[in-house]
Amino acid sequence: MGRVFVMGLLAICLMAGAVRAQENIIPFPQEMQVHAGSFPFDQLRISAEDNSVEAHYLKEQWQGIFGKKLARGGSRVTLKLVVDPVEGAGPEAYKLDIHAGGVTVKSSSEAGIFYGVQTLLQLLEEHRKAGSLPYLHITDYPKFAYRGMHLDVCRHFFSVEEVKRFLDYIAAYKINKFHWHLTDDQGWRIEIKSHPKLTQVGAFRQRKPFDGEAHPTDDPDVYGGFYTQEEIKEVVAYAAGLHIEVIPEIEMPGHAQAALAAYPALSCTGGPFSVGVNWGVMKDIFCPKEETFALLEDVIDEVLPLFPSAYIHIGGDEAPKDRWKACAHCQALIKKQGLKDEHELQSYFITRMEKYINSKGKKIIGWDEILEGGLAPNATVMSWTGIEGGTQAAQSGHDAIMTPASHVYFDYYQGNPQTEPLAFSADLPLEQVYSYNPFPTALTAQEARHILGTQANMWTEYMPTFKQVEYMLFPRLMALSEVAWGTSKPDAYGAFENRVIAQFARLDRKNINYSSALYEVIG
């Protein structure tokens, strides 16, 4: 009797293991039960009455997978808005059922329906050859409300079409925030009508051999580009259709050389400057003068209405204080404001901008250096140099987003630098991303509520083409996705890697470039 029980238990365990390995879903759902039986694809139909954005998306993706239309009529695929299908799990939760009657996705929000559809699409691709979907029940919801992906379009510029493709990719893995890094030393990429030189001058730089042929301007010696406000709106609307919120970043006071090339009077020295062609940290930054604040407020006035997000990111990182130290105006301002030093002057700068932005009903996010010299009262900290910034922010009652370079910097090598394409000189293999736990262990449960989530950053110094961006994104996006969704199991990395490999067929079908460096040992 006992032996039968043990054998039974063993069989159940083996089955459970087999089931998890069988369904190569990323991010893996919170709960899933697979039952006997399956539903044939050719009997799937979508109701002709369902004109929702999500139904449209499903039909379009279906066509991409099978090369033919998803049949209409009947309703063997039902996408249904219901009240609280997963009690207490929040609006992004969904239930996916595959049963004798067909497929049902239920959620209290369109976003949840969309995530259910994403899971369904992965199952469809996975079982394509079999031609039928296993009966199963999924109850799913994210752990983190903020699941972000960043893209730097300054070091290299990417077209509207490429940015949209980037959004498609991240949406497929249930990422819901897009941090769009729009200004930096090497390019100002957003049209500002009241200050046209920001793009006329700031969006273009001397072309270097490494910049390649992508996005040629009329002049072979010039590299650059920018988005008109109409194009920005188009991207924001496209993202909304994928349930992605776009958070723009306008950098200050550092990483401002492109803006200073356009308006040198906003520097401490008066310039002249040219738009940056080298990577790194530049000494010339915005000078805290009245005319600088006036221009930045004009910029904010034009930027905020383009983005429905509650947030704007205002940078704050890597702002050397050399020029402020040598500037009579800055020293006088430090005295006048009763500040201790240039770090406190930076805090004055950020706090002043925060006040302006708050008065327009929006909130700021800043890189962790905004903690130096005192944190602006309502700021959210994006912790990149490590986890200390985010920890400190949460402990002092501020929200934080965790983006530590050690775990989520996708510009770092993912495999052997000897054989990988040129990248930033640090390592970040897939397993390291997968091992990340966004909750700093030093926090109490109360403080941990301030950790909104996590985000990976894509700095593009060494990515002159969009194909290279894809390569650096995949497959690490999959690890980020599962970490942010909250179902990663670092101890079961091998099983995750198998699911990743299974997804390569999907990337191949979409002609997406990716790294298979996970097969190698980093040297």
Which sequence positions are flagged as catalytic?
318
Which residues 331-390 are close enough to bind ligand TNX by CB under 6 A?
A: 367, 384
The DSSP secondary-structure symbol of 457 reads: B
User: Binding-site residue total for ligand TNX (CB under 6 A)?
Assistant: 9
Q: Using an 8 Å Cβ cutoff, are 93 and 119 in contact?
A: no
For residue 503, give the nearest of 491, 512, 493 by alpha carbon. 512
For residue 119, give the nearest of 31, 235, 236, 237 by alpha carbon. 31
427 sits near ligand TNX (criterion: CB under 6 A): no
The least CB distance from residue 441 to ligand TNX, in Å, is 23
The least CB distance from residue 89 to ligand TNX, in Å, is 33
For the CA atoms of 271, 272, 277, 279, what is the dihedral angle to 10 degrees? Answer: -10
Q: Per-residue DSSP letters for 99-166?
A: ETTEEEEEESSHHHHHHHHHHHHHHHHHTTTTTEEEEEEEEE--S-SEEEEEEE-SSS---HHHHHHH
Residue 503, SS3? helix
Binding mask 302-321 for ligand TNX (x = CB under 6 A): ---------------xx---
Looking at the Cβ atoms of 96 and 371, the one nearer to ligand TNX is: 371
The least CB distance from residue 50 to ligand TNX, in Å, is 43
Binding mask 384-413 for ligand TNX (x = CB under 6 A): x------------------------x-x--
Pairing of the two strands 451-456 and 146-152? parallel
The least CB distance from residue 140 to ligand TNX, in Å, is 32
How would you class 437 by CB atoms within 10 Å of its CB: exposed for 0-12, middle for 13-18, buried for 19 or more?
middle
For residue 472, give the nearest of 418, 510, 404, 420 by alpha carbon. 420
CA distances from 477 to 251, 393, 427, 499 (A): 25, 26, 16, 13
CA distances from 347 to 280, 375, 397 (A): 22, 7, 18
Greatest CA separation for the chain: 89
For residue 383, give the nearest of 350, 349, 406, 353 by alpha carbon. 406
Q: Output the CA torsion sign for 319, 477, 119, 42.
A: positive
What are the backbone dihedrals phi and psi of residue 444, each rounded to the nearest 5 degrees, phi first?
-75, 165
The least CB distance from residue 290 to ligand TNX, in Å, is 27
459 sits near ligand TNX (criterion: CB under 6 A): yes
Which residues 62-101 are close enough to bind ligand TNX by CB under 6 A?
A: none
The least CB distance from residue 318 to ligand TNX, in Å, is 5
188 sits near ligand TNX (criterion: CB under 6 A): no
The least CB distance from residue 412 to ligand TNX, in Å, is 7
Residues that bind ligand TNX (CB under 6 A): 317-318, 367, 384, 409, 411, 424, 459, 461
